[in-house]
Chains A and B, each alone.
Chain A
């Protein structure tokens, strides 16, 4: 496969938490579990081996320049918008994706075959 090596896929996620206490159901859980994030990463690394994948925890301070496109989305929709996937600063997907739909979109942006 002819992979684009200079591209960066950024995955903005929120670590899973239970706002109203451990295992509470009224307001949670919110965010992505470790397994979920692991699954996304695994799928991306498998499909686009030469591409850099960055994990960004949105509960921490973000970088104004690098993260601006995702920040706009996150400040509007809140962390319910996670995970957000961007390719080279362009927002590709908001919310939990169907990987079968996300991969072709990413491939198109990365200019590789789906």
Chain B
């Protein structure tokens, strides 16, 4: 629309409003005609209000119908073929009735591999359906707890208390990340939103590591399907990795205030109204004096405010002691606005009555459930494919047992494979049923959703090399250490 830079007076004549006394009205009509040209449509608040509220898309309804159909077909298949319904609901296995002990956890109907593609696909589907029948209950419980945390806790207040990093803030950020269901796929906008909200990099990274690695639905799924020791191992390891990275980054940022030393992208922060006013005053002066501005030109007490602008990545000090706008080194003629919502609930429900809160909780749970069914389908289909297509001896050979190399290989596989959050538990179940060791499973559960080549590639466009190396290095080492320790603990307690 900038190409339509408008000479109001000439347009006034074109509109047939030539009287200078009508200049005000001219301006109005000009803006209206220009806006209605279709190149700068501005949605009015009334029109926006008409669109407010959550409405499931057609795809969401389709996924929901597919989940219901798949669940029903799993139960129906077991019932029609005289298979054990108990094993189906408890372990997600299609097996004959009457099996007990270890056999009941491992035996499944034969699904021979052949070139009969429709038959193989059918087995993938039906074994996936069996996994769905088992994990569905944990999925629903997890969604309800996630909804309760969203409704009953004001995360905006939690965010406000994070302060400038440090152990307490990192712990708070990691906890917030661990309880809020955010998929690893949306990591960059969340990062941008947090930096924009003024949260330091240490807690931001602690949050970003914990969010995909851990959340309430997946903890319940892990505990229900793989057992509480695995779920506890997952929680402890996630916090260990998140707090380590957060602490190192907080220390780095205390040494180097400017976030541009850590981030490749520039995210303009939201400043307090007072600081923003000062920043704009500084901006006008700095635009006139590109070499820099003396602090005293901005009035008393400006040095401290300029330091705050430096911490926000807006100002920098020259060797001569002058202050200038940071060099964005951006020759682009597009204004880049890298920003996103931090996805933290505003805590508006805090003011509701108890009954209203519960009603809101169920509404939110239903909304989460409807929104995330696509992931559930993807997860159980991958699990079904692993069960049918991956030979057991390959799994036991590579990632079976409790040796260090099994954990190492599982960590590498987890990083190379892009396992979206919510998908890792069913796929781990399938791999475990094929013989994957417990430590290797934990490494896979941590590394799969937390670290993957696509997310590393995405973050390489955001973080500078050493931050990325810290993130990848500590996460990978954390997976290996956690897996190895878990193997050791399991051996000791058995």
**What is A's interface to B at a CB cutoff of 8 Å?**
10, 15-23, 25-27, 33-34, 37-38, 41-42, 44-46, 49-50, 52-64, 67, 69, 71-81, 90-95
From known contacts A34-B42, A95-B276, infer whether A71 and B335 are also in contact, taking CB-CB under 8 Å.
Answer: yes
Residues B333 and A71 in contact, CB atoms below 8 Å apart: yes
Residues A41 and B288 in contact, CB atoms below 8 Å apart: no
**What is B's interface to A at a CB cutoff of 8 Å?**
1-9, 20, 23-24, 26-28, 30-32, 34-35, 40-45, 47-52, 193, 266-268, 270, 276-277, 279-280, 283-284, 287-288, 314, 325-326, 328, 330, 332-337, 339-342, 344, 346
Least CB separation from A10: chain B residue: B5
Residues B23 and A49 in contact, CB atoms below 8 Å apart: yes
From known contacts A80-B268, A91-B283, infer whether A22 and B5 are also in contact, taking CB-CB under 8 Å.
Answer: no
Residues B341 and A20 in contact, CB atoms below 8 Å apart: yes
Residues B266 and A60 in contact, CB atoms below 8 Å apart: no
Contact of B2 among A19, A44, A67, A92 (CB under 8 A): A67
Residues in B with CB closer than 8 Å to A67 are 2, 333
Residues in A with CB closer than 8 Å to B326 are 76
What are 29 contact pairs spanning A and B, CB under 8 A?
A15-B42, A18-B43, A23-B45, A23-B49, A38-B27, A41-B28, A41-B31, A42-B28, A53-B7, A55-B1, A55-B5, A55-B34, A56-B2, A60-B3, A67-B333, A69-B287, A71-B335, A72-B325, A73-B283, A73-B325, A75-B336, A76-B283, A78-B339, A79-B268, A80-B276, A81-B268, A91-B284, A91-B287, A91-B288
A15 to B334, CA, bound (A): 15
Least CB separation from B3: chain A residue: A60
Residues B284 and A94 in contact, CB atoms below 8 Å apart: yes
Least CB separation from B285: chain A residue: A91
From known contacts A52-B7, A94-B280, infer whether A61 and B2 are also in contact, taking CB-CB under 8 Å.
Answer: yes
Residues in A with CB closer than 8 Å to B3 are 60
A78 to B346, CA, bound (A): 24
New A-B contacts (15) at CB < 8 Å, excluding given A26-B346, A27-B340, A57-B1: A10-B5, A19-B341, A21-B51, A22-B49, A22-B51, A45-B9, A45-B24, A50-B9, A55-B5, A56-B2, A59-B335, A76-B266, A80-B276, A91-B288, A94-B284
A17 to B23, CA, bound (A): 28
A34 to B44, CA, bound (A): 8
A90 to B287, CA, bound (A): 8
Residues A23 and B52 in contact, CB atoms below 8 Å apart: yes
Residues B23 and A46 in contact, CB atoms below 8 Å apart: yes
A105 to B401, CA, bound (A): 76
